[in-house]
Structure 1
């Protein structure tokens, strides 16, 4: 249980604007003996669920920051300048909601979640698409690691 909580916490933190990654931790816990017992399979499902839930909740923090902190965009400490915001919004409008399926990608994933908040993407739609993208990533990662270990 402690392992799942740690995975969820690291996945949460890595989905925020902090420069962390959860993949190495998930990989280390997903390598299981070659037995296909129900217990190990259930553990892998729980591992994927914990990582997906934590990572999606972290993305929700970014959405909230984008949605509610735009009033501070003219402050010197605000992380994105006006030109950057306009460029990001233009890209988001070009690719639309479906870009949320790619929020798991390094470097561009976290900004997409922030911009989705700025663009006032409905929270339920944001959460569903983000969870599908992030969940698929963890499922593929865990499956591949379990096959190779």
Structure 2
């Protein structure tokens, strides 16, 4: 609670990049601690989206060694997304909020050179939907 919205932003950002943890726990703690639920939704969405876009840009670099080292994602796993990306297109980034495969999706969309603006829009919508659903299903709205 000490860092408030800035702490939530940082936690949400890191949760979408190299640090494997659930930002929803931090989100819930902030709301239960007295912060405004809607502001938390927007702050967490922005942080998580920027973290996801960072993962997208790491994928753009195309350095498989970096992806394996920092994201612990094997090249083979990224390549399995080839079919999905060819089938569903750049909009698959919507599902980057899904635990365990979300980071892979974000990196893969960059690795396969998906259009950044489609990735950005679909990822933003997905991240927002995630926190909105979390807020409502856990009774955190005020």
TM-score (norm: length of structure 1): 0.79
Aligned-residue Cα RMSD (Å) equals 2.5
Deviation for aligned residue 1:52: 0.2
Match of 1:91 in 2: 84
Q: Which whole-Å CA distance do the structure 1 matches of 2:130 and 2:67 have between them?
A: 30
The 1:78/1:57 distance shift into structure 2, 3 A limit, reads closer
Q: Matched residue pairs, number?
A: 137
CA offset at residue 31 of structure 1?
3.3
State the 1:32 CA deviation. 7.4
Deviations 1:11-60 (A, max 9, x none): 00000032121011111222378xxxxxx7xx221110000000000001
What are the ranges of 5 or more consecutive residues in structure 1 without an aligned counterpart? 34-39
1:67 has 2:72 as partner: no
Q: Calculate the TM-score normalised by the size of structure 2.
A: 0.83
Which one has the largest radius of gyration? 1
Change (3 A) 1:141 1:85: closer
Contact 1:8 1:53 in 2 (8 A): yes
Identify which of structures 1 and 2 has the higher relative contact order when contacts are C-alpha pairs closer than 8 Å and 6+ apart: 1
